[in-house]
Chain A
Amino acid sequence: MSDLSPVAGETPSANKLIRADSGTAAAPVAEFRSIHRIYRMGNQEVRALDHVDLVFRKGEYWSIVGPSGSGKSTMLNVLGCLDRPTEGVYELGREDTGLLDDDALSELRSRRLGFIFQSYNLIPQLDVLDNIMVPLLYQSNPPKDGEERARHLAGRVGLGDRLDHRPRELSGGQMQRVAIARALVNDPDMILADEATGNLDSQTSKEILNLFDELHQEGKTIVFVTHEASVSERAERVLIMGDGRVREVRDVVKEVSA
């Protein structure tokens, strides 16, 4: 964390999020209001998330860092509607997710969220095109141009000529590109990436991170969990977690490239 880029003059406190660098705040995509996530293991109580208040706004590129056990994975799971908070309110796109049942949450995931995992998590028996289309498969009213969109995205991530390949025929970088295309196919409100470059060599990581930069420039909201400082500093805002609490939120100031 010490090698993070210089931080903007004013650092907002964890519980009081004010965007220092822009006058008009963009619409919130996701909002945590005093979220707790407590696991019980026997008599022990593990506070994976302990009173977290956060607002993720449209177009922001967040990275979440922290040591293992700091609660960053739990945060991503709650953000992704895969896990429910024990206490508190999580609003996704102005919708209180606590009021939704399992089916509605599933529908929400297929429409509003894009997931990118460390180990790619493609489905082995499907080819590239079908893998990209999986989120559309589960929407209650899938778009008619789904396949067209999937082809377009495959081209965009540089896999237009490998649509009929199975995951095992692809390299790690290629698989992660498929996963990114899959995360984009439903045009999500928020892209959630969990150590998305963790299994890749540095060159491939760089290519993938460039792709994330492009997405950010296009106005996508991205939340990227990582433990690598070199990765986190490419984000716009860095959230530092520790013991289930928000330790710090820093806005990264980019050096203006020549």
Chain B
Amino acid sequence: MVASIRLGVSSLMLHKLRSGLTTLGVLFGTSSVIAMLAIGEGASAEAQEQIKRLGSQNVILRSVKPQEDQNQGSQTTRILSYGLTHEDRERVEATFPSVGKVVPSRLVAQEARFEDRVIGQPRIVATTPEWLEVSGRRVSEGRFISGSDMRGATNVCVLGTEVARELFLFKDPIGQRVKLGADYFDVIGTIAPRVRFDSDAPGAGEETTKELFIALSTADAWFGDMNMSRRAGSFNAEEVELHELLIGVDNVDDVIGIANASREMLARFHDDQDYEVVVPLELLAQAEETKRIFNIVLGSIAGISLLVGGIGIMNVMLATVTERTREIGIRRALGAKRRDIVAQFLVETVVLSVGGGLFGVALGLLIPKVVQWYTDMPTLVTLQAPILAFTISAGIGVLFGIYPAWRASHMDPVDALRHE
């Protein structure tokens, strides 16, 4: 076996340029399989990561401002009332009593201030203590809102990293007091950032939302349901009871059922489409499906280039067989059986294609790095990709080597010996 590989290599070395050029087809085929899979995997891995951080066991019910004619009443004072209600929350809790936790939250439109530094429109989330667990977020310092904060409607807040940085620079914010609207809140903790994903921000990246958290009960007591905004000549107010209901499902198998039941329930009680149901698990499934299609498409393109490489190899091997007719005759005369001749030429083809495959794997591992370096596009080389690419290239060697080898082995020894 070793001897026949050595022989194959030495035969190929007689035509270094031709052998080298022949391997290029497989080389580029293999490397493009790996590179394309790496780019595809990279893109989908990032999307999946974002979805997973939303919590694959969660169902998110969100309030959405219904579509309406924006010009109507733009000069007047109006109050727009929409979204999820406390009744919805109670219905959800009553309908799915055993599924897990239902975490309501509401956004409060107030500015945040510390000494002379102001954040005009922070995302103030008023919620309950369970939010931390269900959302899967982590407190980086101090603590989150507690049950007693809820019961006492205390003026405490937890800052997102961005808010902490902007208001306090390098100072430790814990124990300080932040002014939200007209009232002072004690900072009791900070919360770690997350990678952000939501339906209206597709270009998601590192969390840059200026978010901070207060107890829902406190928000009810101080700010009510009304969020007001003034613009030149108009005064708008929105009345939203709850902006979000985060349902943490205990068992992942129930997620889809609960999502569907929630949709039906909300449809029954809401005349307008003033809500949306976000199911990370469904998004995940969609992302996986997208990835699968993506992989099939990329894989086929790369596969075609491998196929072309294989045909190139077959072409060269057929020429080689013709050129070495006499050698085949000699070997047959000296006792080579048909299968010996088949083996000899098959080994050469496989050496060509595996050689191309090896260099192709090397190049294929390099390309994603270069792509990532120049474009910041995430890439991910999974272990399967090089193995798959290499196996295919070796397989192509065998597949496209069979016919030339068969031709070689079925030459008539007498004719072959007479061949010039």
Is B a genuine binding partner of A? yes
A137: B residues at CB distance < 8 A: 3, 336
B110 → chain A closest CB, angstroms: 85
Q: Is the CB of A106 within 8 A of B332?
A: yes
Q: Is the CB of B335 within 8 A of A111?
A: yes
Residue of B nearest to A106 (CB): B337
Q: Which of B6-14, B151-159, B202-210, B375-383 contacts A (4 or more CB under 8 A)?
A: B6-14
CB-contact partner of B337 in A80, A107, A134, under 8 A = A107
CB-contact partner of B334 in A77, A103, A109, under 8 A = A109
Q: Does A124 contact B (CB under 8 A)?
A: yes
Q: How far is A117 from B332 in the complex, measured between Cα atoms in Å?
A: 14
Known: A106-B335, A139-B335, A182-B334. A77 touches B14 (CB 8 A): no
0/1 interface trace, chain B 14-57, chain A, CB 8 Å (1 if under): 10000000000000000000000000000000000000000000
Residue of B nearest to A136 (CB): B335
Q: Does A125 contact B (CB under 8 A)?
A: yes
Q: Is the CB of B338 within 8 A of A103?
A: yes
Q: Is the CB of B414 within 8 A of A77?
A: yes
Interface residues of B in 398-420 (CB under 8 A from A): 413-414, 417
Q: Is the CB of B334 within 8 A of A110?
A: yes
Q: Does B194 contact A (CB under 8 A)?
A: no
Q: Is the CB of B7 within 8 A of A134?
A: no
Residue of A nearest to B329 (CB): A121
Q: Does B326 contact A (CB under 8 A)?
A: yes
Interface residues of B in 201-239 (CB under 8 A from A): none
Residue of B nearest to A130 (CB): B7
A135: B residues at CB distance < 8 A: 334-335
A121 → chain B closest CB, angstroms: 5
Known: A121-B417, A123-B331. A138 touches B326 (CB 8 A): no
Q: How far is A137 from B344 in the complex, measured between Cα atoms in Å?
A: 12
B335: A residues at CB distance < 8 A: 106-111, 135, 138-139, 186
Interface residues of B in 318-359 (CB under 8 A from A): 326-327, 329-340
Which of B10, B13, B336, B337 lies at the interface centre, i.e. has the most chain A CB atoms within 10 A of its CB?
B337
Q: How far is A103 from B3 in the complex, measured between Cα atoms in Å?
A: 21
Q: Is the CB of B414 within 8 A of A103?
A: no
A106: B residues at CB distance < 8 A: 332, 335-338, 340
Interface size on B, residues (CB 8 A): 23
B337: A residues at CB distance < 8 A: 102-103, 106-107, 138
Q: How far is A77 from B14 in the complex, measured between Cα atoms in Å?
A: 31
Q: Is the CB of A134 within 8 A of B334?
A: yes
Q: How far is A135 from B333 in the complex, measured between Cα atoms in Å?
A: 9
Q: Is the CB of B338 within 8 A of A102?
A: yes
Q: Is the CB of A138 within 8 A of B336?
A: yes
Interface residues of A in 93-124 (CB under 8 A from B): 102-103, 106-111, 115, 117, 121-124
Residue of A nearest to B339 (CB): A103
Q: How far is A109 from B417 in the complex, measured between Cα atoms in Å?
A: 15
Q: How far is A115 from B414 in the complex, measured between Cα atoms in Å?
A: 13
B327: A residues at CB distance < 8 A: 123-124
A64 → chain B closest CB, angstroms: 16
0/1 interface trace, chain A 32-68, chain B, CB 8 Å (1 if under): 0000000000000000000000000000000000000
Q: Is the CB of A124 within 8 A of B14?
A: yes
Q: How far is A83 from B332 in the complex, measured between Cα atoms in Å?
A: 12
Interface residues of A in 183-214 (CB under 8 A from B): 186
Q: How far is A109 from B332 in the complex, measured between Cα atoms in Å?
A: 9
CB-contact partner of B333 in A82, A111, A139, A186, under 8 A = A82
Which of B3, B329, B339, B414 lies at the interface centre, i.e. has the most chain A CB atoms within 10 A of its CB?
B414
Q: How far is A231 from B3 in the complex, measured between Cα atoms in Å?
A: 39
Please list 6 pairs of residues, one from A and one from B, whose beta carbons are closer than 8 Å in the complex, sorted by A's number: A107-B335, A115-B333, A115-B334, A121-B417, A126-B10, A134-B334
9 smallest beta-carbon distances between A and B, as pairs: A110-B335, A138-B335, A106-B337, A109-B335, A135-B334, A82-B413, A121-B330, A138-B336, A103-B337
